[in-house]
Structure 1
């Protein structure tokens, strides 16, 4: 810690040879951040634009991808500034805000995955009751809980951190149970029920379950493994090599925000269909403008020759 004019700063010591490779770091992270914003925003735009994607499952997917954009925006701009700065520091107040946003949005991802698991459970196991249970009002309530429940719980942790309370470790464990462990157990229970129903059902039901549930399970596995690593290393304060710690943390802020749009864009049939149409339309538009300006240039040269 450094105190200057009654302000407290935190020195960031997790970077590896930042002065030597600062421009490589900057360009790599900048490109990754642009890819994250573009890829996630594209899927969210497709879901918003097409009426046939205005179903609870796709609304939850859009919310998850939007959450990834917010999560990345909480991390990447500060990283980019640090790479071009002589000293990698942050004020203690800004550090608390970033900590609050990091764990709030990370926890929201678990709750959104839990909501998606519940949606799949109702769709596959209780198809006749699905329109009644997954009404717009209920979907809105689930989305609100996924974002505001972690925020309400973590605001207490941030307050205690600001006041340097010792109970923060116990309170942190309680929060971890509420917004990570319990949702994971709920998701596992839900998918076990889905698997049991699918095992007893026909091939069409099993195919539908595989198409819609497999992407969710892949995302859940990635999130759970990386968050578990983060919690273990922080709580146990283990002496990991600095390079290994940096690589794992970068995976936490890079892997899922980049992987999620690929999983849902390619594995979800309806989204993939609209994505292919959108890409084909973009190619046609590019070809049209290329042909137009090429012809325009030729006509201009012909007209110039005729006049002069």
Structure 2
């Protein structure tokens, strides 16, 4: 929640500044607001697409927590509890990492003004940085996600998560407004499945390979969860209202600009422990 809140506040500050700050443009014309500049727009799109995805993932997790207590069917309560527990490390670690990235982008949008305390954006960067450390560092959260949420139960919760994503992909297969994010998410889910299958195939003395790739696996899962939420949001954004146009645009940006990172994350998640264990401790520690 802290990651989502700080990222959202930083985004609002960046948007307001970009609308009001004049700089650059044609030499023979007045300066334009920096929101007109391509790189600034890229950063603003990236910030908003991440923030809105995180909010949706957070609400989905909260829904599963509610269903784990209030669903009328005992089996449904059990599945919901399992899904909520599976997503909690994701919410803690992925949100705090993404919140830091968004706050850092806000500083960049504001430029030198964002670096000093007057703007207040630098405070967001410092406040969110600690969130990836306390209450279990994000590396520990990733380790927990792999060892307790994946390997411990043969991937039961993880496969249920994948099943739910694929169910929505099937449901919206004929929805034209979801085509771009649907294609990106289909590719991302396939990559996630390959990583999960590899981890689950490891014998006990190879588990360190999964631990080595755990942080990348968590980030890959975060991208899939975010893309899933954008699939849902774009599916209902059918009208030509400003809200729906904005939702469709952000969904396509997430698909085209942020989802391609899953290819690198898949490779990182499958890096074997031998690559980090090749040096003795003393040799690694040399500066």
TM-score range, shorter chain: 0.3 to 0.5
Per the normalisation by structure 1, the TM-score is: 0.33
Per the normalisation by structure 2, the TM-score is: 0.35
Structure showing greater radius of gyration is 1
Of structures 1 and 2, the one scoring higher in RCO (CA 8 A, sep 6+) is 1
